[in-house]
Chains A and B, each alone.
Chain A
């Protein structure tokens, strides 16, 4: 009974309308939280004693950094599901997550550099976190390149799945080794905040923005997985019966 409900929505046909109904809710919640978080962060949170106004970058830098890692973990999860249970939808979810994850990784690097320049004097520092983020960005690019290069969608999904899993297992190794490499060559590492000394409003705004980005990622993934489902299932009857397909453009060939 439980296994029936577990796999009930693993058919793309059943999941398509579920995703269709739910993504707008996530999008609305994400937008609302983003407005609130940005309001708190830009108009309410006080100036930082050490970093002046420049610290406000953390309201996007920290959320996108967290998301880039969470999304990769989600991809690894779906890769594991797909390889274990051989469900098509798992591979589609993994592929749907990748572009958002890559964008988050890129934004983490971009905002990290913009934050680093006024604080540490250079556009780039080889500290453990930024360097690991760069490698994570390459992992995303590798996944996207591999799945785009393989024509057969099932093979692309499974190959991508293997790559995502191997990558996920390696991420702790990579982070540890980069941390080791960094502490040998440099003194104290830079910390984002000093935990308890962070003003309450700043922390609130940061957490709200983090949740906002999380909901945005979910909404984006659900929207994108619908595209992937449509593209792969285009020759089936249930796609033909969809209301958006039946709305035939009257300018069609008659």
Chain B
């Protein structure tokens, strides 16, 4: 552990904006990408289920 205190760690020797700006944006985009893909899957599965439900419903109407 090379940091002597939390404020040293946070300040990153004066480069805080640049270092944390980089790590922060990377983390934000990684998280956003994962969240977006998960949400896309959820909506897709819901969509397909709804389609199948309405198709099944319409099929039974004809009897």
Contact yes or no, B14 A52, CB < 8 A: yes
Q: Which of A45, A61, A253 contacts B53 (CB 8 A)?
A: A253
Segment at the interface with B among A68-76, A160-168, A239-247: A239-247
Q: Which of B9, B13, B29, B52 contacts A103 (CB 8 A)?
A: B29
Report the count of interface residues on A (CB-CB < 8 A). 42
Q: Which of A44, A47, A54, A245 contacts B18 (CB 8 A)?
A: A54
Contact yes or no, A54 B13, CB < 8 A: yes
Chain B residues closer than 8 Å to A226, beta-carbon distance: 41
Interface residues of B in 22-63 (CB under 8 A from A): 22-23, 25-26, 29-30, 33-34, 37, 40-41, 44-54, 57
Chain A residues closer than 8 Å to B17, beta-carbon distance: 114
Contact yes or no, A253 B54, CB < 8 A: yes
Docked complex Cα distance between A137 and B49 (Å): 37
Query: Could you tell me the distance in whole angstroms from the C-beta of A36 to the nearest C-beta in chain B?
Result: 15
| B interface SS class | helix
Report the count of interface residues on B (CB-CB < 8 A). 35
Question: Any chain B CB within 8 A of the CB of A99?
Answer: yes
Query: Could you tell me the distance in whole angstroms from the C-beta of A249 to the nearest C-beta in chain B?
Result: 6
Q: Closest chain B residue to A117 by CB distance?
A: B18
Chain B residues closer than 8 Å to A106, beta-carbon distance: 29
Q: Which of A64, A220, A230, A253 contacts B37 (CB 8 A)?
A: A220
Contact yes or no, B18 A115, CB < 8 A: yes
Interface residues of A in 83-125 (CB under 8 A from B): 99-100, 103, 106-107, 110-111, 114-115, 117-118
Contact yes or no, A107 B26, CB < 8 A: yes
Query: Could you tell me the distance in whole angstroms from the C-beta of A185 to the nearest C-beta in chain B?
Result: 26
Given that A46-B2, A231-B44, A244-B45 are known contacts, is A114 also in contact with B22, CB under 8 Å in the complex?
yes
Given that A100-B33, A117-B18, A227-B40 are known contacts, is A64 also in contact with B26, CB under 8 Å in the complex?
yes
Query: Could you tell me the distance in whole angstroms from the C-beta of A200 to the nearest C-beta in chain B?
Result: 15
Q: Which of A45, A61, A220 contacts B22 (CB 8 A)?
A: A61
Docked complex Cα distance between A234 and B43 (Å): 13
Docked complex Cα distance between A106 and B29 (Å): 10
Q: Mark A28-69, 1 if CB is under 8 A from B, else 0.
A: 000000000000001111110000111011001100100000
Given that A57-B18, A99-B33 are known contacts, is A249 also in contact with B49, CB under 8 Å in the complex?
yes
